[in-house]
Chain A
């Protein structure tokens, strides 16, 4: 093979592999990313039922209901609006009333949500960043609690 041919083979295969990678990324970006909303944003942005998304806020005090077959319902609130979340499965260890939570799943109606995943964090001082941001926006952010007062 000539020098030119070798160079072409090299460049050609590089372009081909990168083009495939780029194509895959663009294709996957269209249907496989999930947006994050607070319960208020779901109403404000008029998110349609059936959409796959992440929702975050605080678990409303006194709203957690456990039913048979590990079915759990609870309200996620950003203190302006609530969203009723249904989840079948094991809750993460740090799931508590009054604490931040992120649920991923499908929106059934503007105020109902079926979660496939409820996210846990490894650290009890940690607030999911999206939740912290959305609470800040709503003006309910109290800041990180000073650790000494715990």
Chain B
């Protein structure tokens, strides 16, 4: 009887300890992630800063109706999807190609050196990279210097809307390809070497080995990463665009997040900006749920 009571007590103590360990993190989450969600109400209100969130009148879906009727908003959503989609596709293909190329290198030191260097841009902020890119692609930058050597005139790249969209997409791929290759490289080391030996005896060259052994072995990883990336279709990269763009290229690279920032925090149309932000959050949330359940179904993948 006594031992049972003691047992119960220690079990209670264990549970209490676990809850206590979670407490700081949960409090942080509560005040800085969950409480701000209450502000979503503003999307359904005609929010007036003077009246506050509890005093402003509710107007239903009016903000959303207005939002989707705006030409600006339609353009911005289109830009977002185009840029994000291109990034998703290229951020899968380029790191994969890079991992396969690196895998062919037999000199260990070269391999290590290349690997270490290509991770570096991932850790530099877009603020820094934007300033460097402006120097490189600017009017007096290197790109124009090289063009000059070939007898071409200086071009003003950074106000060229057509150029800028590709600039955004490709510089992002450049920044992240090394880091994105980490998972592929790890998967490559996991392939059973006897498969290669057996195929070599059967007369398969390196190219055939790549097509028939390496790629099929990576297929689960490739599908998994692609599916998980689908949740990012409205995430075109705020930090990058926000730090590199300028009013002359709004037509091709203004994305949802940057637009929300401008109408919300500089033009102070809080309700409209909240509605646009909520639209993005909702779509992303649904897509992520779908992609994660797909990932679970096909690859048995769970994040927790």
A pairs with B: no
Interface, chain B (partner A; CB < 8 A): none
